[in-house]
Amino acid sequence: MNATQNQSLLARREEELTNEVVQSFDGTASPRVGELLQGLVRHLHAYAREVRLTEPEWRYAIDFLTRTGHITDERRQEFILLSDVLGLSMLTIAINAPTDPDATEPTVFGPFFVGDAPEIGYGGDIAQGAQGEPCWVEGQVTDTRGEPVAGATIEVWEADEDGFYDVQYSDGRTAGRARMTADPEGRYGFWSVKPAPYPIPGDGPVGEMLTAAGRSPMRPAHIHFMVSAPAHRTLVTHVFLAGGDHLDDDAVFGVKESLIQPFTKQPPGAGPGGRTLTGRWWKLVFNVRLAREEAV
Ligand code: BEZ
Ligand code: FE
């Protein structure tokens, strides 16, 4: 056998191996699980063949994923971060986004949501010690025809002016997050702090990957929203500070034009919610349009 014949024999063996592994999942009870597993095998094998994966590279990848698991706990989710910087989170969001073009666009969830945020009323303050310039945020939750969604649940979370979420503080306190309920007209309003750009956590395997790639770890300034109501699609999104840095090179590809909104500068004095401001403050109006739950 000459070298060319040997090459084509080896290539055929590689393909036969892929087919054998794909077929090993033929008996999967759930057709969808079978589809997911067989697609995974096909694409993983195609990737290994395309890049001609070496054994040291395979070992490095195993070690990388092992370290990703070890650094993950209930306050740090390195796998979500990995999905985010690979653009997989945003691709999954795009695939599943509501088809209604009038719905507020979704974006990445991120690793810093906490389920038991304190409940606040209209005009309450989510900062609770998070440092930053005061920022009043208000808006109305409607459906895509403009009908108010009374009683919608709104959860918000944001980093402080130094770019840290409370879950990154060493003292375990809660700050920069809250849950509230929209009024009968769907309106909400709360005090917060003006968001700042920040780097995603860089001290784990994902940071190592960004450094190796020469990629920026920065995210543009934003406030996270999760808005839910019966019979409506739950919306996970952010509002981004117009004119801020890194709108064009978000480390997790989360920026959408429609989510960039002006934060307007306000002079000291009386502000909303009965608050008197001694220095300048900011105001943001962010109206949310929820899609109807689609029939299944
Ligand atoms: C965030 O905005 O909180 C975030 C999103 C993705 C990765 C890291 C942080
Ligand atoms: Fe964030």
- Which of 200, 222, 255 to mutate for ligand 1's pocket (most ligand atoms within 8 Å of CB)? 200
Average pLDDT over residues 201-206: 95
pLDDT of residue 111: 85
pLDDT of residue 34: 98
Average pLDDT over residues 44-69: 98
Q: 43 or 115: whose pLDDT is higher?
A: 43
- Which of 158, 219, 241, 249 to mutate for ligand 1's pocket (most ligand atoms within 8 Å of CB)? 219
224 CA distance to ligand 2 centroid (A)?
A: 6
Q: In which band, very low, low, confident or very high, does the pLDDT at 142 lie, cut at 50, 70 and 90? A: very high
Tell me the per-residue pLDDT of 97-121, one tens digit each, with 9 for 90 and over: 878 999 999 999 998 898 889 999 9
Q: How far apart are CA 76 and CA 69, in angstroms?
A: 10
162 CA distance to ligand 2 centroid (A)?
A: 12
Ligand 1: residues whose CB is within 6 Å? 81, 84, 108, 110-112, 200, 219, 252
- For residue 295, pLDDT over 70 is answered with no
- For residue 242, pLDDT over 60 is answered with yes
pLDDT of residue 10: 87
8 Å CB contact between 188 and 223: no
Structure pTM?
0.91
Sign of the Cα pseudo-torsion (124, 127, 131, 132, in order): negative
Sheet containing strand 260-261, strands side by side: 177-181, 153-157, 222-228, 235-241, 260-261
Torsion of CA 121, 123, 126, 128, to 10 degrees: -100
Residue 23 burial (CB count, 10 A): 11
Query: Running DSSP on this structure, what letter comes out for residue 106?
Result: P
Q: Which two tokens stand for residue 196?
A: 């700042």
Q: What is the largest CA-CA distance in the chain?
A: 88
Write down the residue that tokens 């945003």 correspond to: 90
Q: Which helix (H) or strand (E) holds 15?
A: helix 3-23
Q: In which band, very low, low, confident or very high, does the pLDDT at 11 lie, cut at 50, 70 and 90? A: confident
Q: Which candidate, 107, 105, 130, 135, places its Cα nearest to that of 118?
A: 130
Q: In which band, very low, low, confident or very high, does the pLDDT at 82 lie, cut at 50, 70 and 90? A: very high
Average pLDDT over residues 230-236: 96
Q: 274 or 55: whose pLDDT is higher?
A: 55
Q: In which band, very low, low, confident or very high, does the pLDDT at 220 lie, cut at 50, 70 and 90? A: very high
Q: In which band, very low, low, confident or very high, does the pLDDT at 296 lie, cut at 50, 70 and 90? A: low
Tell me the per-residue pLDDT of 245-261, one tens digit each, with 9 for 90 and over: 999 999 999 999 999 99
- For residue 8, pLDDT over 90 is answered with no
Q: Which candidate, 156, 159, 40, places its Cα nearest to that of 88?
A: 40
Share of the chain above pLDDT 70, in %: 99
111 CA distance to ligand 1 centroid (A)?
A: 6
23 CA distance to ligand 1 centroid (A)?
A: 38
Nearest-CA residue for atom 3 of ligand 1: 110
